[in-house]
Amino acid sequence: MDDVVNVASTSGVEKDKGSKMWASLFAAGDAEKSWPLEWIEPEMEGDVTVVPRMILDKGVDLWKNHLVGYFIDKMMPFFLVKRTFEKEWKLKGGLQITTDGNLYYFKFVDPEDRRRILEGGPIFVAGRIMVIRQWSEDVFDEKNQITTVPIWVKCFDIPTQMWTKEGLSLIGSRIGTPKCCDAMTMKMERLNFARICVEVKANTTYPTTLKFKMGEGKTAVVGVEYTWKPQCCSKCNVFGHLTKNCFNRNATNWVQREKVVHPVQSVASGGVENTVQDKEREVASPEKYGGESSSNRFATLNREEEKVLSPVENACSCFGKQ
């Protein structure tokens, strides 16, 4: 873990400025604050150690109430994230923030604070979105590659027969992998729409209407509203950028052409004769990513094909609708 900070704590005990002797690190007072380790006989399968279920269960119990946050595209400095949370989150209890590379772990003292932050969805930090999700055993596997993102959706016109755990799960499964619903949905205190958290992949289509057959000759149509859709690239199948802005989409591979042979005249004593000498030129030829040839970016130097664009036509397309 890289950084640990207790947001709720504003006072601390000043550490001893003097250097400690190595032996003092193992004094009784320090030992009581540490984890005394013990020998465990490893169970091996070849060169792989089998982790006992007891160890895994204790680890899950330790982290199950944590929330995990991460930025989809670019990380932000830890102090900036911490300052944003202190300003935006009005917590009843304390909060401990721990970082591990690009992941942020949040431990709440008050369960109500934890529930409210989780249901709040993504958070903006200096204009960038941080996704907040429940800790799970898959977090470590996705540490360096985000394959799924949790989003909150609103589902309207749900038949009362489907206002159950199983019914809402079926609705969420049409969009992605359903994870949970908010407190008002669970308690059925608001029946005009249900708010469901689902995990989506980069190839999710985000349907706006869902049809369900409610018995013989009757179909229910459920409307879906997305408060936020994560940027994703259908070419890379990852989150963080759009397909039109993908670097691989416009990537160019430079390859060497075949050897070029030119005839050269040489003068001999008996007259003029042609001899052939090899003159190999390494000519680079661009090939677009995926095997498609790309056009020459300097083709506009050809005066016959020049075209004068109006200021509007020549404007940057970065402000186009995404």
Q: What pLDDT, on the 0 to 100 scale, is given for residue 231?
A: 80
Give the Cα separation of 107 and 97 in Å (integer). Answer: 7
The pLDDT score that the predictor gives to residue 139 is: 78
Query: Looking at residue 202, what is its pLDDT?
Result: 84
Task: Tell me the sheet residues that pair with 276.
Answer: 263
Q: 122 near 130, Cβ under 8 Å?
A: yes
Sheet of 177-181: strands edge to edge? 177-181, 193-200, 149-156, 219-226, 209-213
Euclidean distance between CA atoms 179 and 173, whole angstroms: 10
- Which pLDDT value is given to residue 316? 32
What are the structural domain ranges in the chain? 1-9+52-145, 149-233, 254-305
Nearest to 67 by CA among 119, 120, 122, 105: 105
**Inter-residue contact 199 to 148 (CB < 8 Å):** yes
Burial of 89 from C-beta contacts in 10 A (0-12 / 13-18 / 19+): middle
pLDDT by residue for the chain (322 residues), tens only, comes to 556 556 554 434 444 444 455 445 445 555 556 779 899 999 999 999 999 999 999 999 999 999 999 887 777 888 888 888 878 888 888 888 888 878 899 999 999 999 999 988 888 888 788 888 899 888 776 666 677 888 999 999 999 999 999 999 999 999 999 989 998 999 999 999 999 999 998 889 999 999 999 988 899 999 999 988 888 777 777 776 666 777 665 555 555 666 555 555 555 555 555 544 544 444 444 444 344 444 444 344 344 444 433 333 333 333 233 3
Identify the pLDDT of residue 166.
Answer: 96
109 backbone dihedrals φ, ψ, rounded to 5°:
-75, -40
Task: Name which of 322, 139, 317 is nearest 229 in CA terms.
Answer: 322
Evaluate whether 94 touches 7 at the Cβ level (below 8 Å): yes
pLDDT computed for residue 61 by the predictor: 94
Q: Report the pLDDT value the prediction gives residue 81, as an integer from 0 to 100.
A: 87
In this prediction, residue 14 carries a pLDDT of: 45
Residue located via tokens 């040839």:
293
What are the backbone angles phi and psi of residue 286, rounded to the nearest 5°? -80, 140
Give residue 32's pLDDT.
55
Distance CA 21, CA 155 (A): 63
Q: In the 8-state DSSP scheme, what is residue 310?
A: P
R_g of the chain, CA atoms, integer Å: 31
Query: Cα–chain-centroid distance for residue 168?
Result: 26
Q: Specify the residue for token string 């004769």.
A: 273
CATH no. of 149-233: 3.30.70
CA–CA distances in Å: residue 196 to residues 150, 168, 200, 252, 259: 10, 8, 12, 43, 63
Fold agreement (1-9+52-145, 149-233): yes
Kindly report the CATH number that applies to the domain delimited by 1-9+52-145.
Answer: 3.30.70.330
